[in-house]
Chain A
Amino acid sequence: MTATSDNLSMLEAPGINWRRQIRFALVGGLSSVFIALAGMPVGLDGRNIIQPVLSMGYLALLWVPFVFASLAGSVVILEGMSERERDAKDLAAGALVGLGSSAGLIILMVLIQNFNLRDPLVNWSPQLLDLLSFDRSTGLGMLLWLILGTTLGLLGGAMHVVPAKVRSRILAVALAVLAVSVLETFLTDLLEGFGLETLTDFIYYKRGGLEVSGAIVVAALALLIPLLVGSKIEGIKTRVVEMPSEERRRVNLLLLTVGAALMLVLPFFLGKITNELLANVGLFVLLALGLNIVVGLAGILDLGYVAFFAVGGYTTAVLTSPNSPGFSPELPWPVALIIVVVLTGIVGLFIGAPVIRMRGDYLAIVTLGFGEIIRLLFLSDWLSGWFGGAQGITNIPGVDVGIGTVKGTDPRSVFLLVLVFCAIAIYVSWRLEHSRLGRAWMAIREDEDVAEAMGVNTTNTKLMAFVVGAVLASFSGAIFSAKVGSIFPTSFLMLVSIIILVVVIVGGMGNIVGVIAGALVLIGVLGGPKQPGLLQEFSQFKLLIYGALLVWMMLKRPEGLVPNVRRTRELHQEEFLQDAWLKGEIDTDDDEDSQ
């Protein structure tokens, strides 16, 4: 028996599952209420997406009916199944989900008007009611929500009725408008660097957000550009893919060089705020790349990774600052860096040696403990003669690189320095992944006992992962302390470890591009543990969004934003094998009759 798709009858996907629609409607309603009571609408109202039509606060509620309706309508189409004809019923289903979502808000409005629960629920406030009723009477507000929710739900349902091509166009336009609005600080900064203030003035409203006309222009561009050049790009792509490997390598190399050159020039066109922001992103890219080697490649779940960042930062501070309380050699930064790298490597060995004998949950908990121990040591009175305890170490000088000094007051120089170290980290990760050591790490991740039986010295190999990860983190720590100019134990909370891990997971474990993407999205847009991102208004909801994002990713896309091929296979092995089987790629024992 050979498995080919032609001897499978085409099954039609099942019809609308009303139970599922109602469940989504209820969850949508609850989510809306939760978002409202978490304070997002009020807290984010100050930030405009499109002035004066849409603020971030309203967007925080309005996405719910649309997205939930479209999620409720989506069906998994397996190989050999044909998609069902969509009709008006699907629209009705969408509208139902939308209605459910807004019904939650309407009930909330009634409750707020009649009861006072402000004591436990801080956001149970008149401001919320005003906002929910669009600054008009409550009755009118309720009616408006009813209409809005149903319409948006209808639109969400309609996404499945229109052809897939149209759907992706609509999504692209919506995302483009949202992205241009969110990236406002960055884009105005960049365009100003090129002397194009008129353009920004046209697109953006002065106190944040897009102008309506600007939004229309952006939407039109997002619609037209793919139509005009989309096919050409596709053509180039296929041509590159079909090239012989020698030539393809040259093209890749060229792209890489151009990309690197652009990155090096970029800081000179950016203003202070954006440079600062990107420098922070870069520090987290460094950390995440290091953790990626430990978690992504070797499969050691390290929850105390911040320890190495702290050791790197503190060692630099002690070695370079004149204010270092105990020992103050005031070395220049580059010399200090060498000592920092060696010392952090040794600390990595010391922490790693007991830790890697454990596996799974135990290992995670022990690393968590070590992360805290290191921070508490820096905070302790016992070592305050060396590290200043809670007062930390101040007056850390910048990095003297000959043509200038890299210091926190000049974010551009910091960003350039970070870029150089990121390049080093990327190179290290890439080379190690494709080496004898990288293969051994992967084997350990797959099956530690078998790796050991196949001659891999698992203790040394895992220690090596720990040490390489620690060294990359120490780069980040060294730049961090020179950038900030002072260093305190509070910069190295456990939260930092968790955030780095979230960056790695959301971005795509085991993938360098994924890790960078993760850092850009999470740290750049939402902000790091203390560093503000592009959406500064989000800072108080940052952890909520991190959590929600993590849960969603784990459920729907555990391989991350930019997945690693191998990891995707691991996580979706059943689907992968089923797919391969249906396409006839799988190797069956019966094949051997023909051999």
Chain B
Amino acid sequence: MSMLEIRDLSVTFGGLHALKNLHFHVDEGEIVSVIGPNGAGKTTFFNMISGMITPTTGDIVFEGESLLGLDPSQVTERGIARTFQNVRLFANMTILENVMVAQHCRTDQRVFGALFQTKSFKSEEEAIRNYGEEVLSFFGSRLVGYRLDQPASVLSYANRRRLEVARAMATRPRLLLLDEPVAGMNPRESAELTALIGRLRSEWGFTVVMIEHDMSVVRDVSDRVVVLDHGETIAQGSYDQVANDPKVIEAYLGRPVGSAVADDEEAP
């Protein structure tokens, strides 16, 4: 059985169909890319899985249980974490605090523990801190050391993106939703992050669904590509299958033209 299964899902905003009769599934251990032109409904799709938008019809089933009607925090607790397309860190909290707060739903100390500094409170704080540092050190030396206690706002753009991924990882998810993880990065940085996405699966055991415009990243890392246009799945399969699908080419370029997919790689 697949890990995440989306059945016949539709979202309408007023008269606009943001997503129409969508069927989608992710198996455990897969890396799936969702691509599509601007306005295709990709981010809406993420918002819906993470509980920020309630679908009009249809069902989302994660590990055998429906996610409908859950708050975003409950969805995160079930094991789905996400990043945001326009980086939204807690800019005035330190880098370490950013990953510490993300472990909120995995910890349970309340007022009593904090006030009386109980043993379990102290050991939990220690564990939160250690796990936070462990997650941050996944990105090499960039986010650790003296950076730990700096506010997130001093980070460079690429490092903010990395911290976003780290923060999502810190919620201890099973499924990671990455919304354009390499947007705005230079080719070298994006190649590096592509390698990290592969390691997210092999070392951390995460299943990854990612929205991405950068076709070289999509080609290198994904097992399967799903193409959305106007809220509908128009194609899915391996990168090569999708790249040669006439419907996909039409969606991107407007009319069928031989093998024009190569242009896409410069398109994002």
Which residues of A are interface residues toward B (Cβ below 8 A)? 427-428, 431-432, 434-440, 442-443, 446-447, 449-459, 464, 468, 566-567, 569-570, 573, 576-577, 580, 585-589, 591-592, 595
Closest to A460 in B: B73
Q: Are A455 and B171 touching (Cβ within 8 A)?
A: yes
Residue in contact with B104 in the complex, picked from A436, A569, A570, A592, CB distance below 8 Å: A436
Q: Once the chains bind, are B50 and A453 in contact (CB under 8 Å)?
A: yes
B24 at the binding interface (Cβ < 8 Å):
no
Contact: A587 with B140, CB < 8 Å?
A: no
Of the residues B52, B92, B114, B168, contact of A569 by C-beta under 8 Å: B92
Contact across chains for B97 and A439 when beta carbons are under 8 A apart:
yes
Q: Is the CB of B159 within 8 A of A587?
A: yes
Inter-subunit contact B189/A589 (CB<8 Å): yes
Q: Are A455 and B114 in contact (CB under 8 A)?
A: no
Stretch of B28-36, B150-158, B234-242, B254-262 with 4 or more beta carbons under 8 angstroms from chain A: B150-158
Q: Is there contact, CB below 8 Å, between B71 and A452?
A: yes
A592 to B154, CA, bound (A): 15
Please, could you name 21 A-B residue pairs with CB atoms under 8 Å apart, sorted by A?
A: A428-B115, A436-B114, A436-B124, A439-B97, A442-B101, A447-B88, A449-B72, A449-B88, A450-B89, A452-B71, A452-B73, A453-B50, A453-B73, A453-B76, A455-B73, A455-B76, A456-B101, A457-B105, A587-B154, A587-B155, A591-B156
Cα distance A437–B109 when bound, in Å?
Answer: 8
How close is A429's CB to chain B, nearest CB, in angstroms?
11
Cβ-closest chain A residue relative to B140: A595
Is the CB–CB distance between A566 and B92 below 8 Å? yes
List the A side residues contacting B77 at CB < 8 Å: 455
Tally inter-chain residue pairs, CB-CB below 8 A: 137
B101 touches A432 (CB 8 A): no
B110 proximal to A (CB < 8 A): yes
Q: How far is the CA of A468 from the CA of B112 in the complex (A)?
A: 12
The CA-CA distance from A464 to B111 in the complex, in Å, is 9
In the complex, the answer to whether B109 meets A450 with C-beta atoms within 8 Å is no
Whether, in the assembled complex, B6 has its beta carbon less than 8 Å from a beta carbon of chain A, the answer is no
Residue B117 is within 8 A (CB to CB) of chain A in the complex: yes
One of A435, A451, A595 near B114 (C-beta < 8 A): A435
Q: With A and B bound together, what is the CA distance between A439 and B159 in angstroms?
A: 22
Question: Residue A595 contacts which of B106, B141, B171 (CB distance < 8 angstroms)?
Answer: B141
**Which residues of A have CB within 8 Å of B91?**
446, 573
Taking CB atoms, residues of chain A closer than 8 Å to B225 are none
Q: A428-B115, A569-B153, A595-B142 are in contact. Are A442 and B97 (CB under 8 A)?
A: yes
Q: Chain B interface (Cβ within 8 Å of chain A)?
A: 50, 52, 71-74, 76-77, 81-82, 84, 88-93, 97, 100-107, 109-111, 113-115, 117, 121, 124-125, 128, 140-142, 147, 151, 153-159, 167-168, 171, 186, 189
Contact pick for B84, options A450, A456, A573, A586, CB 8 Å: A450
Which chain A residues lie closer than 8 Å to B73 at the CB level?
Answer: 452-458
State whether B110 touches A446 (Cβ < 8 A): no
CA distance A530 to B218 in the complex (A): 68
Q: Is the CB–CB distance between B189 and A446 below 8 Å?
A: no
Q: Which of B117, B153, B157 contacts A577 (CB 8 A)?
A: B153
CB-CB < 8 A to B121: which residues of A? 435
Q: Is the CB of A431 within 8 A of B167?
A: no
Residues of B within 8 Å of A464, CB to CB, are: 111
Tell me if A454 and B101 are in contact (CB < 8 A).
Answer: yes
- Shortest CB-to-CB span from A420 to chain B, Å, is 16
Contacts of A587 in B (CB 8 A): 147, 154-156, 159
Main secondary structure of the interface of A (DSSP, over half): helix
Bound complex: CA A586 to CA B157 (Å): 11
- A439 surroundings in chain B (CB, below 8 A): 93, 97, 100-101, 104
Nearest to A433 among chain B residues (CB) is B114
Cβ contact within 8 Å between A436 and B84: no
CB pair B52–A453 under 8 Å, yes or no, is: yes
Q: List, in ascending order, chain A residues with CB within 8 A of B110's CB.
A: 436-437
Query: For residue A453, which residues in chain B have a CB less than 8 angstroms away from its CB?
Result: 50, 52, 72-73, 76, 82, 84
Query: Nearest A residue to B173 by beta-carbon distance?
Result: A455
How far does the alpha carbon of A553 sit from the alpha carbon of B230 in the complex, in Å?
Answer: 51
Q: A446-B93, A453-B84, A454-B168 are in contact. List 6 more A-B contacts (CB 8 A).
A: A431-B117, A453-B82, A459-B71, A587-B156, A592-B142, A592-B189
Question: Which chain A positions have C-beta within 8 A of B117?
Answer: 431
Which A-B residue pairs are the 4 nearest by beta carbons? Answer: A455-B105, A435-B114, A455-B76, A446-B90
Once the chains bind, are A569 and B151 in contact (CB under 8 Å)? yes
Which A residues lie within 8 Å of B189 (CB)?
589, 592
**Which B-chain residue is minimally distant from A449 (CB atoms)?**
B52
Determine how close the nearest CB of chain A comes to the CB of B58; give it in whole angstroms.
21
Contact A468 B154, CB 8 Å, known A436-B104, A439-B93: no
Given the complex of chains A and B, what is the CA–CA distance between A577 and B154 in angstroms? 7
| Chain B residues with CB under 8 A of A585 | 154
**How far, in whole Å, are A450 and B76 apart by their CA atoms in the complex?**
11
Residue of B50, B74, B158, B167 near A589 (CB, 8 A) is B158
Distance (whole angstroms) from the CB of A465 to the closest CB of chain B: 11
B233 to chain A, nearest CB (A): 25
**A432 and B115 contacting across the interface, CB-CB below 8 Å:** yes
Q: Give, as a whole number of angstroms, the nearest-CB distance from B205 to chain A.
A: 19
| Residue with the greatest number of chain B CB neighbours at <10 A, chosen from A439, A455, A457 | A455
Contact present for A456 and B109 (CB under 8 Å): no
Taking CB atoms, residues of chain A closer than 8 Å to B89 are: 450
Chain B residues within 8 Å of A457, by CB: 71, 73-74, 104-105
Residues of chain A contacted by B168 (CB below 8 angstroms): 454
A456 touches B105 (CB 8 A): yes
**Chain B residues with CB below 8 A from A442, complex form:** 90, 92-93, 97, 101
Give the Cβ gap from B151 to chain A, nearest Cβ, in Å.
Answer: 6
Asked if B109 and A436 make an inter-chain contact with CB atoms under 8 angstroms apart, the answer reads yes
B101 touches A443 (CB 8 A): yes
Complex Cα distance, B106 from A464, in Å, reads: 18
**Cβ contact within 8 Å between A431 and B115:** yes
**Distance A457 CA – B142 CA, assembled complex (angstroms):** 30
Which of chain B's residues has its CB closest to A432's CB? B114
**Distance from B187 Cβ to chain A, minimum over Cβ atoms (Å):** 12
CB distance from A89 to the nearest CB of B (A): 41
Residues of A within 8 A of B171 (CB): 454-455
Pairwise interchain contact A446-B92, C-beta atoms closer than 8 A: yes
- In the complex, what residues of B have CB within 8 A of residue A451's CB? 90, 101
Q: Is the CB of A443 within 8 A of B109?
A: no
Evaluate contact between B153 and A436: CB separation under 8 angstroms. Answer: no
Complex interface: chain B residues within 8 A of A437 (CB): 110-111, 114
Chain A residue contacts of B111, Cβ below 8 A: 432, 437, 464, 468
Is the Cβ of A589 less than 8 Å from the Cβ of B128? Answer: no
**CB pair A436 B93 closer than 8 Å:** no
Residue on A nearest B108 in the bound complex, by CB: A436
A427 to B116, CA, bound (A): 10
Residues of B close to A573: CB separation below 8 A:
91-92, 153
A454: contacting residue among B114, B147, B156, B167, CB under 8 A: B167
Distance (Å) between the CB of B184 and the closest chain A CB?
10
* Residue contact A436 to B155, C-beta cutoff 8 Å: no
B104 and A566 form a contact (CB under 8 A):
no
CB distance from B162 to the nearest CB of A (A): 11
Query: Shortest distance in angstroms between A16's beta carbon and chain B's nearest beta carbon?
Result: 36
Known interface pairs A452-B73, A453-B52, A453-B72. Does A570 touch B157 (Cβ–Cβ under 8 Å)?
Answer: no
In the complex, residue of chain A having the shortest beta-carbon distance to the beta carbon of B116: A431
Q: Max chain A CB contacts within 10 Å: which of B73, B81, B128?
A: B73
In the bound complex, CA of A146 to CA of B176 (Å): 74
Residues of B within 8 A of A589 (CB): 156-159, 186, 189
CB B200 to nearest CB in A, in angstroms, measures 18
Task: Provide the bound-state CA to CA distance between A52 and B153, in Å.
Answer: 55
Query: Which residue on chain B has the smallest CB distance to residue A443?
Result: B101
